[in-house]
Amino acid sequence: DTEVTQTPKHLVMGMTNKKSLKCEQHMGHRAMYWYKQKAKKPPELMFVYSYEKLSINESVPSRFSPECPNSSLLNLHLHALQPEDSALYLCASSQRQGRTEAFFGQGTRLTVV
């Protein structure tokens, strides 16, 4: 099983809403990632969790709040987003360190209205 599962696939939220994105993997990977991808642009790294601890935060605004409840789950909590935050949010996982590649989920298409 080399799947990274993201839910929901699509999400529309208002600027005052609170919502969460969910990511799950059962490959025993110890590093998990959140990326943001705007149309026709590369994925931009947001957060990295290693062994369930936040190891990298790429200066992401606090309206995005990541959480790693256990080694298989990764959440991204959203609050008071702006329309420019509309994008495809990608989750990925990899074995931590060394010779390892990242596996990506299908993403959540987020629209902020």
Partner 1 sequence: AQSVSQHNHHVILSEAASLELGCNYSYGGTVNLFWYVQYPGQHLQLLLKYFSGDPLVKGIKGFEAEFIKSKFSFNLRKPSVQWSDTAEYFCAVNNPNTDKLIFGTGTRLQVFP
Binding of residue 66 to partner 1 (CB under 8 A): no
Query: What is the rounded distance in angstroms from the CA atom of residue 47 to the CA atom of residue 78?
Result: 14
> Which one of 7-15, 16-24, 41-49, 67-75 is the stretch in contact with partner 1 (CB under 8 A)?
41-49
Length of the chain: 113
Question: Residue 12 corresponds to which tokens in the numbers above?
Answer: 């529309």
Query: What is the rounded distance in angstroms from the CA atom of residue 105 to the CA atom of residue 13?
Result: 21
**58 or 113, CB closer to partner 1?**
58
Binding of residue 106 to partner 1 (CB under 8 A): yes
Nearest distance from residue 17's CB to partner 1, in Å? 26
Q: Taken in order 85, 92, 29, 21, is the CA torsion positive or negative?
A: positive
Residues of the shown chain interacting with partner 1 in the complex, contacts defined by CB under 8 A: 31, 33, 40-45, 48, 50, 55-56, 90, 92, 94, 96-107
